[in-house]
Structure 1
Amino acid sequence: MFLPFCEMSWGLLVLFTYKAPNAQTIFGLRFFLGLFSSAFWPSVVALIFNWYTPAELAVRVACFTVCDVAGAMFLGALQAALYRDMNGVHGLAGWQWLFIISGAVTVGQGLLAFVTVPDSPANTRALYLTENEKRLARERMGNSGVNTSKRIPASVLKMKLRKLIVHPITYFYLFSFAFGAWAHRANSYFVLYLESIKDAAGNRVYDTYQVNILPLGGYALQIVTNVGLNWLSDWKRWRWQISVFSAAAHGICLAVLCGWPSDHKVILAFYFLTYGTNAGSPSLMAWMAEILRKEPEARSIIVAMTVTIVYIGHATIPLRAFRVADAPRYPVGFPLTTAFTVATILVQLGMLWWDRRHPEMAEYGYEPALSADVSSDGENPKLADAETVQAGTDAKAANTNFAKEL
C-alpha cells in the first residue's frame, strides 16, 4: 500500500504543476513531490533484495536503474515532440503538456502498483502468485542463505539500528555510493554545454529540438553498459571489480573534461562516455546486500540513508561547484567530481579489505556468536526474532533446525 500511495501522490503533484501560477507554488509542489518520490527508490531496491538471490542481484538492480534512464529517454523525446507539435494547443504551452502527460502516466502506474507490488516472500499476498510459487520464493532465498523482511519486535529493530549505526560496513557503503553518485553529477550539465556551442558567426550550433534529442544517445549507452557489465558481475561474481572499474573509467573521462580540449567534438565524446561509466552502483549494491544477507532491515535502512545523503549532496554541491557563471567549463565542478571518483575507489578498496577480514558477517550477520546462545533444547530467542521464515515451517521449527545444524 505504501509504494502505490507514494507514487500516486507524486503523480498528482506532477500533473497539477501545469496549473502553477507562480514560482512559489512550484517550489511547494516540488517539496512534496520530493517527499513522496524519495521513498520509492530505496523501497523498490528493498523489494529486489527480498526476491532475488545474491547471484541475481546486480543485473536486476541494473534493470531497475536503467528503467529510470529509459524514462528519461522517453521524457526527452516527449519533451522535444511536445515543444514542436503541441505548443499552444488548447491554450497550453508545451511544457504544460509535459507535466500533464507525465503526471497522468505516473498516477496510472500507481494504481497498477496496488496489485503488482508483492511485498516480501515471508508475507506476500500477491494475487498473481500461487501458494507453490510463494513457497518456492521462500525456499530460493533460504537456500541462498538470505534472510528476507518480516515483522519483528520493536526491541529487535532497536538493537539492529544500534548495531547498524556503529558498524563499519554502513559507512563503507554509504560513502562509496555517495561519492560515486556525486561524481556522476557532472553529466547533468551536458544540455547546458550543448546550448553553449556556437559557430564562427556566434550562432547556436544546436537548436532546442536537437538539444533535447542529443542526450538520448548517452542514455542509450548507459542502458547497454549498465545491463551488460552487471550481467557480467552476476555471472562472475565480480562485485568490486565492476564497481571500481566503472569509477576508474569515469575518472578518466572527468580528467579529460578538466583539461577542456579545444575541439568541441572531443568534449562531446567524453561527455557521452560519462554516461557509459555509470554501471558501478548496481554491483556495489549487490555487494553490500551479499555482505548483509542476514540483515534485511539493515539493507533497507542503509540504502535509504544513502539516498538521503546523495540527495543532500545533489542539492548543495552544485551551488558552488556548478555555478551558472562557470558554465560550460566548470573549473570547480569537474576537478571536484574527479576527486569524488578517486574517493569512491579508495573507500571501495577499504570495504574490500574489511570484507575479506570479516567473512563471518555474510554468514551470521550482526550476531557472529549466535551458536553460543542456543540452549540445550534447541530454542534460541534471538534467532526466533532474526531468522527468515523457511518454507513450510514456523519460526520455532526453523530455529530448531538451525541449532541442530550447528
Structure 2
Amino acid sequence: MATHEPALGPDNTNSCKSDSVTTEVTQTKDESESRYMFTDKTRPKTASQRLLGSVWDAFGKEPVERRFVLRLDRFLFIYSLLSLIIKTLDQSNISNAYVSGMKEDLALYGQERNLFSTFFNMGYLFGSLPCQIIINRGMRPSVWLPACELIWSGLVMSIALCKNARPIYAIRFFIGLFESSVFPGFVLILGSWYTPDELGKRIALFELSGQAASMFSGYLQAGLYSSMNGRHGIAGWKWLFIVDGIISIPIALAGFYCIPDFPTNTCARWLNADQREYAIQRMLAVGRKPPTKLTMSEMIKIFKSPRPWLFLLPYNISFFGYYTGYFNLWLKAVGHYTVEQINLVPTAGNAIGVIMAYVVGTLSDQTGNRWVWMLLSLVPATVGAIILSVWYVPEGAVMFANLFAFASSPLQPLTITWAAECFQDSAATRGLIVGFGNTVSFAMSAWTGLVFFPTPDAPHYKFGYQAAVGFQILAAISILVFLKYVKWEEKKFRMVKNEFGLMVRLEDLVLARPETTKSTEDEENCIR
C-alpha cells in the first residue's frame, strides 16, 4: 500500500506549525479520483473545451484541475510576470535613457553604455549561482525574492541622482547582484507547480514578458520625455528610473503573499490543505522530484555528471547570438527618426517576440516536443544576422532583419522548459543548471558586447553579426548533441514514458499512482 508523508520543506522538516494529527485516509477508488481528479487525456473533449483549451490550456481540463491551475495562474504566474517585467524595465531603461538625453547630459561618448551592461553582468555573474544555492539550502523563495526586489528598487531610483558614469558603474553592479535571484528562482518555482502540457507556454510568456517590458519602456520613455522632461528640474531620462523604482515597491511587497514556495513546503494562504496535497499528487504523477536540502556531496555529484555540462551548450550558445539590443542605435544613426520614434519603433519587435512566445510555447505544449521548436526558433535570428552581415542593402531590409530577429525569442524559454523535463529527477539540478547557465552567460556577456558590438562602431559592426550567425549554427548543433545524450541515457536506464509523455524510471512511474494517500489536515499557521 502506497502512502504519502506530510509535506516537508527543503530541510526535510515540516515547515508549517500544526496542532493537528496526521491521519491515514483510506479511500475507495471513486473517492480518490474525486479528490485528486486529473484530466483524462484519452477522454473526448467538448467543443467548448477544445476551443477554450486551445487559447489557454486550463480551460480544457476537468473542473477540479481547471480551478487549481487557474488559481496558480492568478497568484503565482501573474506575479512572476509582473516581477520580471519590472526587472527588464531597468535593463531597457538604460538603452532608452542613453538615446533620450543621458548620453549628452553625462558626456557618455566612449564605451560607457557597454560598461553599464558589463558591470550589471558582473553583479549578475557573482549572484546567480550563490542565490540558487541559498534557495536550495532551505531559504524560502517567498522571503528571499521579495527582499531582493525591495533593495533593487532603491538602487534603480538612485541612478537619477548620478552626475557622471562612475557611480552608475557601482549601482549597476549591485542591481545585477540583487536581480540575479529572480529569473532562475521563478523558473524553479514554476517548474515545481506546472505539468508538461502547461509549462512551455508559461515559461515562454514569463521570459518574454521582458519583451512586453521593453515595449512599455519605450512608450514610458517617449511619454516621460514629452511630458516630464525638465519638470521640477529633472531630465526626462531620469524620470524613467524614478518611476521604475516607485512602481516596483508594491510589486515586491506582494511577493511575500503570492509566492507559494514549493508544493511540499508551501504555506501560501491562498491554498488550503487539500489544494496543497493536490499539488503534490500532480508532481508525483509527472515524476518531478521535490526539493531537498542541498549538500556539498549532492552538488559535487550534480556537476560530475556530463548531462548538466552538455545542456549548458545550447543554453549558453544561443544566448551569445542575440543582437536585438542594438536596434535602436541603428535607428539613431539613420538620422531621420525623432527621439520618440527611436524609443517606439523597437516595440514592434517586442510585440513579435511576445506573440511568438505564446504561439510557439503553446505548440510545444500541445505536441509534447521541445527540441524541434527550438531548432525552428533559431531560423529568424539566423536569417536576420545574415542580412545584417551583408549590411549594404536597402534600409527596409535592415529594418526587416532587426524586427525578424525578435521572432527567435521563444528559443531560450523552450530551452529552460526542456531542462525542467530532462532534469526532473532532481530539483537541485533544475535550480542550479539555470543559475550556473546564467553565470556563464553573463560572464561571457561582460566582454562579448565590447568585442563584437563596440559602441563607437555603431551601427555597422565589423564582425558582430557574422559572429551571431556562427553562434546560431553552433546552437543548433549543441541541441542535437544534447538530444542524442538524453536518448542514450533513456536507453541505458530502461526508462519508460508516463502519461505526460515524459521518460521516467520504472520506480518513479509506480510511485506516481498511489491508490491510498496519507493526508495532513494542517492549520493555516505557517512560519514565514
Please, what TM-score do these two structures have when normalized by structure 2? Answer: 0.66
Summarize the Cα distance change of 1:362–1:10 in structure 2 as closer, same or farther, 3 Å threshold.
farther
**2:254 aligned to which of 89, 92, 112:** 112
Contact 1:11–1:103 (CA under 8 A) maintained in structure 2? yes
List alignment gaps of at least 5 residues for structure 2.
Answer: 1-142, 498-503, 520-528
Please tell me the residue identity of whatever aligns with 2:290.
Answer: T
8 Å Cα contact 1:291/1:361 also seen in 2: no
Structure 2 residue 185 is the aligned partner of structure 1 residue 43: yes
Give per-residue Cα distances to partners, 1:182-208, cap 9 Å, x unaligned.
Answer: 101x111100000111xxxxxx21011
Relative to structure 1, is the Cα distance of residues 358 and 81 closer, same or farther in structure 2, using a 3 angstrom cutoff? same
Please point out which of 307, 330, 339 is paired with 2:470: 339
The worse-fitting range, judged by mean Cα deviation, of 51-60 and 337-346 is 51-60
What is the aligned partner in structure 2 of residue 125 from structure 1?
Answer: 267
Query: Could you give the per-residue CA deviations for residues 128-181 of structure 1, whole angstroms, max 9, x where no partner exists?
Result: 1111111111111111111122x43x5xx3333122212222122212111111
Per-residue CA deviation, residues 296-338 of structure 1 (Å, 9 max, x unaligned), is 1001000000111111122210111111232222121101111
Partner of 2:289: 147
Equivalent residues in 2 for 1:33-182, closer than 5 Å: 33-149=175-291, 151-152=292-293, 157-182=295-320
* Separation in 1, partners of 2:414, 2:179: 23
- Is 1:277 aligned with 2:393? no
Structure 2 distance, partners of 1:25, 1:44, is 30
1:194 aligns with 2:331: yes
Alignment of 1:276-355 (within 5 A): 276-355=407-486
**TM-superposed deviation, 1:251:** 1.2
Distance in 2, Cα, partners of 1:282 & 1:207? 34
Pair 1:223-2:354 in alignment: yes
CA contact (8 A) 2:315 2:412 kept: yes
Which residue of 1 is the match for residue 395 of structure 2?
264
Three-state SS of the structure 2 residue aligned to 1:76 is: helix
Q: 1:369 to 1:76 in 2, by over 3 A?
A: closer
Q: Distance in 1 between matches of 2:436 and 2:469?
A: 24
For the structure 1 residues 369 and 363, does the alpha-carbon distance in structure 2 shift closer, same or farther, using more than 3 Å as the test? Answer: closer
Structure 1 Cα separation of the partners of residues 280 and 494 of structure 2: 22
Matched residue, 2:109: none
Q: Which amino acid aligns with 1:125?
A: C
Against the structure 1 CA distance between its residues 361 and 349, is the aligned structure 2 distance closer, same or farther, given a 3 Å change threshold? farther
Q: Which residue is equivalent to 1:8?
A: 150
Counterpart of 1:193, as a letter, is W
C-alpha contact (below 8 Å) 1:49/1:57 kept by paired residues: yes
CA-CA distance at 1:370 after TM superposition:
10
Contact conserved, 1:146 with 1:294, CA < 8 A, in 2? yes
Task: Return the alpha-carbon distance in structure 2 between the equivalents of residues 134 and 363 of structure 1.
Answer: 28
CA distance in 2, matches of 1:311, 1:336: 17
- Amino acid in structure 1 at the alignment position of 2:373: I
Mean alpha-carbon deviation: is it higher for 277-286 or for 133-142? Answer: 277-286
Measure, in 2, the Cα distance between the counterparts of 1:361 and 1:125: 37
Contact 2:208/2:409 (CA < 8 Å) preserved in 1?
Answer: no
Query: Within 2, Cα distance between the matches of 1:361 and 1:71?
Result: 44
- Counterpart amino acid of residue 308 in structure 1: T
Distance in structure 1 (CA, Å) of the matches to 2:488 and 2:518: 34
RMSD of aligned alpha carbons: 2.3
Following superposition, the deviation at residue 210 of structure 1 comes to 0.4
Give yes or no for contact 1:321–1:330 (8 Å, CA) kept in 2: yes
Asked if the contact 2:496–2:505 (Cα under 8 Å) also holds between the matched residues in 1, the reply is no
Q: Is the 8 A contact 2:204 2:357 kept in 1?
A: yes
Kindly provide the CA deviation profile for residues 12-46 of structure 1, in whole angstroms up to 9, marking residues without a partner as x: 11112212233222111111111000111100101
CA contact (8 A) 1:292 1:362 kept: no
Match of 1:254 in 2: 385
* Cα distance, 1:290 vs structure 2: 1.1
Separation in 2 of the partners of 1:8 and 1:175? 34
My pick for the range that moved more, 313-322 or 159-168, is 159-168
Q: What secondary structure does 1:51 align onto?
A: coil
State the structure with bigger RCO (CA 8 A, min sep 6), 1 or 2: 2
Deviation at 1:362, TM superposition (A): 7.0
Give 1:53 shift: 1.3
Report the CA distance shift for 1:314/1:60 in structure 2 as closer, same or farther (over 3 A).
same
Mapped contact 2:383–2:401 kept (Cα < 8 A): no
Post-superposition CA distance 1:69-94 (Å, at most 9, x none): 11111111101111111001111111
Distance 1:215 1:293 in 2: 37
Letter in 2 for 1:190: F
**Aligned partners of 2:494, 2:200: CA distance in 1, in Å?**
20
> 2 CA distance for matches of 1:17 and 1:188?
21
Note the C-alpha offset of 1:54.
2.1
Contact persistence 1:191–1:215 (CA under 8 A): yes
- Normalised by the length of structure 1, the TM-score is 0.85
From 365, 369, 372, the counterpart of 1:241: 372
Q: Which sections of structure 1, spanning at least 5 residues, go unmatched?
A: 198-203, 372-382, 395-406
Paired residues in the alignment total 366
Counterpart amino acid of residue 282 in structure 1 = P
SS in 2 for 1:358: helix
Q: Which amino acid aligns with 1:319?
A: L
Report % sequence identity: 28
- In the alignment, the residues of structure 2 paired with residue 209 and residue 279 of structure 1 have an alpha-carbon distance, to the nearest angstrom, of 28
What is the one-letter code of the residue matched to 1:169? R
Asked if the contact 2:495/2:505 (under 8 Å) is kept, the reply is no
Mapped contact 1:222–1:278 kept (Cα < 8 A) = yes
Match of 2:3 in 1: none
| Greater helix proportion | 1
Cα contact 1:292–1:361 (8 A) shared by 2: no
